[in-house]
A and B are shown apart, each in its own frame.
Chain A
Amino acid sequence: EAGVTQFPSHSVIEKGQTVTLRCDPISGHDNLYWYRRVMGKEIKFLLHFVKESKQDESGMPNNRFLAERTGGTYSTLKVQPAELEDSGVYFCASSHAGFGETQYFGPGTRLLVL
């Protein structure tokens, strides 16, 4: 079974540019999460999809961040326009539908905004 995959692995952009991160969850996983780790701090929740619906987006920092999950499969996270403080590692995780299921994490996308 393939794990969670993320693309790109690294991205370096200038302030004001746009970046789109992609996550492909484990096949059959209804739950998809985005998390972010900034400057060696804790990993923080951004949002949660159940299939194609946003279940919880309370962790999204501001309206420069837009997440979508097309057809309940892969998800994209767009940052527009990017700011310096957006630098960090963006993780995607997925889990089966249901209660207390393990979240499996992807390798992350390392974003650097200059």
Chain B
Amino acid sequence: GENVEQHPSTLSVQEGDSAVIKCTYSDSASNYFPWYKQELGKGPQLIIDIRSNVGEKKDQRIAVTLNKTAKHFSLHITETQPEDSAVYFCAGSGWGSARQLTFGSGTQLTVLP
């Protein structure tokens, strides 16, 4: 089955700096890679996703890149703000009908004011 590795487990950045979180996956059949943000006491919320036919996707301060050959994908947050502080999860899923998500272990991002 799929295995998703996520690094780092914790990340502290100064407000205004960029943050990068990296994930690798094992199953070459995986084609859908969402990123979720989980704030304290809340459930995971989708912030951006990417499909295998795209190498990069951007939404305002958030971008995701995908390298299918190397089987890794990354989340980039620019101009970080204190409200970006949360746990971020990457995930992978197969193509086709609705499938389960395989998650990474999470990254606790702290943005220092």
Contact = CB atoms under 8 A, between A and B. Distances in A.
Interface of A: 4, 31, 33, 35, 40-45, 48, 50, 55-56, 59, 91, 95, 97-108
A106 B98 contact: no
Interface in B81-113: 89, 91, 93, 95-98, 100-106
Given A43-B103, A102-B34, A31 B98 contact: yes
B20 to A, nearest CB: 20
B44 A91 contact: yes
Contacts of B98: 31, 48, 50, 55, 95, 97-101
B44 A102 contact: no
B49 A108 contact: no
Given A42-B106, A100-B51, A106 B43 contact: yes
B49 A102 contact: yes
